[in-house]
Structure 1
Amino acid sequence: MQEKDIHSDLLDVAELAARTALPAPTVRTLLRGGTPPADSVNDRVRARITALARADMAATGKRMSDLASDISQRLGVSGYWARQVCDGKKVPSVELLHGLVEYFGVEEGEAFFTASAADALNRALLPLLHKLEHPESDPVLALMDRYGVRSADLRVHGSLTREQLERLLEGVLRSVVPPEGGRDQ
């Protein structure tokens, strides 16, 4: 199988463009190892909001005036401002950008709008990479995948104390490791 066939089988440029709110030519350039066009953070924010607005209108059948009105009501801004932002003519403040993250349901938060094209594409490719690495060979990853857990960060943010984490892991290990030091008899 040629390299082009492998890429087309594994990587759908249109889907990646939609998931990252990047232009398809930029995704294609990055997948080929090229350098995307230079842009500023403001350019990224405007372009990605516009892409999300267009995708939302396509999915819901809304017109721009309906979308702007909905955003206006949810974020407490003028309809004119909302339309300007959705058209890519204005850059929202950080506070309003956070509101747009919630409005559009962007899981990556504000970084979705501000990340470089390469970082945005890498973030979208990581789930594919994890699938290709056969998570079933790692029992923890397989369990996380089975229950739809995308990531776990139990130690850094204090959701569990060290002692609680040790008890949790000890309980899990006891339930899966055979008696007598892990050796079957």
Structure 2
Amino acid sequence: MASPPPLAETLRRLDAAVREKGVRPDPLDVAGLAARTALPASTVRTLLRGGTPPDDSVNDRVRARIAALAKASMTTTGTRMSDLASDISRRLGVSGYWARQVCDGKKVPSVELLHGLVEYFGVEDGEAFFTAPAADALNRALLPLLRGLEHPQSDPVLALMDRYGVNSADLRAHGSLTREQVERLLEGVLRSVVPPEGTRGQ
């Protein structure tokens, strides 16, 4: 299996693909990438500009990224740290105190607990999500976007848009279609081709 290109190469190819498409894709925004990688927005911004983020150790990365995921989880679910720690304690078989210390970014989890947190938070790339250098973490998040832009035929929605000469800039131009309208349009298309739940397999 071929090794992935380095981040600098990914960014160069993304820039070329974006210029060819005539629109900068929404997934390239700093906040979105920071959320997907559990990296600080400042680090993502630095890397996108071709800079070098501050040095950190593997332990620093693990603590910071778990804390970022825990914070995002609490924001999404509206729960408190005590609730999150209790849930992790119950699911992974560790003390509530230890779970809270880990989620606060104060303690480095054991390898076994780190594996459990991969499953708990549902992250891709396994333990590497927590341990990879920032440039590698961002690169992994950008590669699917790059593949979608360079090979739109692999994405049926992008392929259909290409077939009719439409891109996301066209859809948003002059307020012709909002994001919500595009979603409703796609929902209607899917509803027309996907059988109702009760009739599948009949």
TM-score (norm 1): 0.70
Matches within 5 A, 1:32-181: 32-136=49-153, 141=154
CA distance in 1, matches of 2:146, 2:114: 29
2:113 maps to a residue whose letter is L
Larger Rg belongs to: 1
The yes-or-no answer on 1:20 pairing with 2:37 is yes
Structure number with higher helix proportion: 2
2:72 maps to a residue whose letter is A
2:79 maps to a residue whose letter is K
Shift >4 Å, 4+ stretches: 6-10
Uncovered stretches (5+) of structure 2, i.e. residues with no partner = 1-18, 160-202
Q: Cα 1:62–1:142, aligned 2, differ >3 Å: closer, same or farther?
A: closer
The yes-or-no answer on 1:29 pairing with 2:46 is yes
CA distance in 1, matches of 2:76, 2:139: 25
CA distance in 2, matches of 1:93, 1:117: 21
CA distance in 2, matches of 1:124, 1:67: 26
Give the CA deviation at 1:135: 3.1
Q: Tell me how large the CA RMSD over aligned residues is.
A: 2.3
In structure 1, the partner of 2:174 is none
Uncovered stretches (5+) of structure 1, i.e. residues with no partner = 147-185
Give the CA deviation at 1:7: 5.9
1:42 maps to a residue whose letter is N
Give the CA deviation at 1:62: 0.6
Q: Cα 1:52–1:10, aligned 2, differ >3 Å: closer, same or farther?
A: closer
2:58 maps to a residue whose letter is V
2:90 maps to a residue whose letter is Q
2:69 maps to a residue whose letter is L
Q: Cα 1:24–1:76, aligned 2, differ >3 Å: closer, same or farther?
A: same
Number of residue pairs matched by the alignment: 138
CA distance in 1, matches of 2:77, 2:39: 20
CA distance in 2, matches of 1:22, 1:10: 15
Give the CA deviation at 1:8: 7.8
CA distance in 2, matches of 1:21, 1:71: 19
CA distance in 1, matches of 2:76, 2:27: 25
CA distance in 1, matches of 2:127, 2:45: 24
Q: Do 2:89 and 2:96's aligned partners in 1 also have CA atoms closer than 8 Å? A: yes
Q: Cα 1:71–1:34, aligned 2, differ >3 Å: closer, same or farther?
A: same
